[in-house]
């Protein structure tokens, strides 16, 4: 029997076994995806929609011919479950697996590559066989900073999401320290959840949810109740929280292009006041949302009358300055500098803009640039005592930084010198040994008959 014949026989046996013994895991029970577990997993949990999953796999045609293998590449395959990044059979099959499990899947064409196939390896209307090992899975990191992890228990409807300012109706359950601390239906405006004792992480996550979606959210302290905690719920400072959230319905807020200039200016006054209230309560992320609305509405607004232009510029200047202050509090110094630059673009001698940019640069260890900003503050207002103090701080920091650099370089050069001295000493020693050996050779008598 040839190798091809053996491969064909093996493929036919595996396909027949799956067809006869495999479990139908399709939602419609149409036997389009059949599964056999070859090695059970070592955990009870399975991946959810949106999870990032890590697998090894081998793919074969029904005749046993291998067309792909991650093991041959010695590299796991990674994809987001239930997002249409892989064939339908995989989204169905991997969702049933446990971590560490190895299974076989038999996939009919309509759950694989259909009539189109995948040229040149997979022909039209091909039934495919897969061996899959689920190595690991983890929740979806919504903002790629580890602060909000989402795991979708039920996929939502459609493709529309709430936006900032949308009115949402949700059901939520909050968990902390092994207990449930909040359970209710609530209607509120996205970006203003804090007014209803809802942490900012819920507001942020809702902008990525669809109607009727049911998900679990893991919130880090930054997206929870932060340094203040929430005594009302018995939650300590910097606590990690878990919420289960269902988005029951929502009504989008007007987008910028749906509002005329008059409405934008009226709304700018309202959200500016809301932002200031949040800022005074040390709710800086919520304040950022409010001030950010002013920028989104007015920064690219054209064709204004002289009065409207002055009013819009005043709102924008206040928004950029207040955003810079929020970002300083949030320790996002690069964003603070960017907002100050925008403010100074509107008013190049703005005292607050120069001072706050100097603060951000000082905290980024850009001492020379910070000193320049504080000096410009004094050029605008020679009586600004805070700027004078900050210049002294910059000079002190620059001196400390230079002295530290000198020590580092001195130690570095000392080590280089010691290494060079050792190498030179070793070279001298080897030279002396070589010279002595040579002299010994010259002194030695030549034996008769030998050269």
* pLDDT value of residue 450: 38
Please give the mean pLDDT across all residues of the chain.
91
Cα distances (Å, whole numbers) of residue 422 to 386, 400, 411, 429: 54, 33, 16, 10
Span 389-419, pLDDT tens digits:
999 999 999 998 888 777 777 666 666 666 7
DSSP 153-220: EE--BSS----TT-EEEEEEEEEETTEEEEEEEEEEETT-GGGGT--HHHHHHHTT--BT-EEEEEE-
pLDDT band at 449; cut points 50, 70, 90? very low
Q: Which residues carry out catalysis?
A: 57, 67-68, 87, 113, 130
Average pLDDT on 380-384 reads: 96
Q: Is 286 helix (H, G, I), strand (E, B) or coil?
A: helix
Average pLDDT on 138-162 reads: 95
Q: What percent of the chain has pLDDT over 70?
A: 89
Span 164-194, pLDDT tens digits:
999 999 999 999 999 999 999 999 999 999 9
Whether residue 51 contacts residue 138, with contact meaning beta carbons closer than 8 Å, is answered with: yes
Nearest to 150 by CA among 190, 196, 208, 92: 208
Average pLDDT on 71-85 reads: 95
Angstrom distance (rounded) from CA 276 to CA 272: 6
Angstrom distance (rounded) from CA 291 to CA 296: 9
Nearest to 210 by CA among 151, 149, 167, 156: 156
Average pLDDT on 366-374 reads: 96
Please count the residues of the chain.
451
**Widest CA span of the chain, in angstroms?**
117
Q: Which residue has the higher pLDDT, 103 or 64?
A: 103
């Amino acid at each position: 029997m040839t190798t091809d014949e053996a491969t064909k026989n093996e493929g036919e046996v595996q396909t027949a076994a799956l067809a006869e013994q495999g479990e139908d895991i399709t939602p419609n029970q149409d036997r389009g995806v059949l599964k056999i577990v070859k090695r059970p997993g070592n955990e009870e949990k399975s991946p959810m929609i949106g999870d990032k999953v890590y697998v090894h796999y081998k793919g074969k045609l029904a005749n046993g011919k291998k067309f792909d293998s991650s093991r041959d590449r010695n590299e796991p395959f990674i994809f987001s479950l239930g997002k249409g990044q892989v064939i339908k059979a995989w989204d169905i099959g991997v969702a049933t697996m446990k971590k560490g499990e190895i299974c076989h899947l038999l996939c009919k064409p309509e759950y694989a590559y259909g009539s189109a196939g995948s040229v040149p390896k997979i022909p039209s209307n091909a039934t495919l066989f897969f061996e899959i090992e689920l190595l690991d899975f983890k929740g979806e990191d919504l903002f790629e900073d580890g602060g909000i992890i989402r795991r979708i228990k039920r996929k939502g409807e459609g493709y529309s999401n709430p936006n900032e300012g949308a009115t949402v109706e949700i059901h939520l359950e909050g968990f902390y320290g092994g207990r449930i601390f909040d359970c209710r239906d609530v209607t509120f405006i996205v970006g203003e959840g804090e007014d209803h004792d809802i942490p900012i992480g819920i507001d942020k996550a809702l902008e990525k949810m669809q109607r009727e979606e049911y998900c679990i959210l893991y919130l880090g302290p930054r997206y929870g109740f932060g340094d203040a905690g929430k005594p009302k719920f018995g939650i300590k400072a910097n606590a990690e929280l878990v919420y289960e959230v269902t988005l029951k319905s929502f009504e989008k807020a007007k987008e910028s292009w749906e509002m005329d200039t008059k409405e934008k200016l009226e709304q700018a006054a309202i959200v500016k006041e809301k932002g200031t209230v949040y800022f005074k309560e040390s709710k800086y992320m919520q304040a950022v949302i409010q001030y950010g609305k002013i920028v989104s509405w007015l920064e690219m607004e054209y064709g204004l009358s002289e009065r409207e232009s002055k009013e819009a510029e005043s709102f924008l200047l206040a928004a950029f300055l207040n955003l810079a202050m929020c970002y300083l509090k949030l320790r996002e110094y690069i964003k603070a500098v960017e907002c100050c630059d925008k403010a100074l673009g509107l008013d190049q001698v703005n005292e607050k803009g120069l001072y706050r940019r100097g603060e951000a640069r000082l905290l980024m260890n850009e001492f020379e640039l910070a000193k320049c900003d504080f000096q410009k503050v004094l050029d605008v207002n020679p009586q600004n005592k805070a700027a004078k103090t900050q210049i002294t701080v910059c000079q002190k920091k620059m001196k400390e930084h230079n002295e530290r650099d000198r020590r580092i370089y001195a130690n570095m050069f000392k080590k280089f010198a010691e290494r060079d001295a050792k190498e030179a000493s070793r070279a001298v020693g080897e030279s002396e040994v070589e010279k002595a050996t040579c002299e010994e050779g010259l002194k030695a008598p030549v034996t008769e008959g030998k050269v």
